[in-house]
Amino acid sequence: MIHIIGTYECKADVKGRIMLPTALKKQMQKIINDGFIIKRSVFNQCLEIHPMSEWNLVVSQVNQLNRFVKKNNDFIRSYMSGLKLIDIDKSGRLLIPKDLFVYAEIDKEIVLSSSVNMIELWDKKKYEKSVAKTLQNFSSLAEEVMGDQTKKEL
């Protein structure tokens, strides 16, 4: 399992290319040649970049859904629509496909934010608004999400 750390600000050029920050490239050194999946986020107007090994785990989960249940088929179709394979070139750049660039309403300023095993790609202003909104009630959210967890010993 991959654990990506950090939040990075960068810029997209007119063609939608982003130069990955050095600290992020270092973390992904072992997986960078395997390729990535970029897709729309389910809950936010941002994009998700999944390393191929992590994406394969997600697809395994999705593939377990019973396709003779209509809502499962509807979910699969929507979840998998707009997926793109992307690579990071030798210069350390990735190209955001135009349709996804438009979907996320990305301007020039971008934030790449780690989300444990994937990277969220946000328009900077949208990211700042989302974080500010979440931080307003973060202590309650943390308690609700993590408070009932029992400590597991390693």
Q: Is the pLDDT of residue 151 over 80?
A: no
Q: Where are the alpha helices (DSSP H) in the chain?
A: 22-27, 52-63, 70-80, 98-103, 124-136, 138-146
Q: For residues 90-116, give the mean pLDDT.
A: 94
pLDDT interval class at 124 (50, 70, 90): very high
Q: What is the pLDDT of residues 21-31, one digit of tens each?
A: 999 999 998 99
Residue 59: Cβ within 10 Å count: 15
- Round the CA-based radius of gyration of the chain to a whole number and report it: 17
**pLDDT score for 55:** 97
Instruction: Report how far residue 97's alpha carbon sits from residue 86's, in angstroms, rounded to the nearest whole number.
Output: 9
- Global confidence as pTM: 0.90
Asked which of 49-58, 67-76, 144-153 is least confident by mean pLDDT, the reply is: 144-153
Domains of the chain plus CATH, in order, are 7-144 (3.40.1550.20)
**pLDDT score for 150:** 66
Q: What is the pLDDT of residues 11-67, one digit of tens each?
A: 999 999 999 999 999 999 899 999 999 999 999 999 999 999 999 999 999 999 999
**pLDDT score for 2:** 85
| Residue 64: partners with Cβ closer than 8 Å, 6 or more residues away | none
Residue 46: Cβ within 10 Å count: 23
Q: Is the pLDDT of residue 149 over 90?
A: no
Q: Is the pLDDT of residue 154 over 60?
A: no
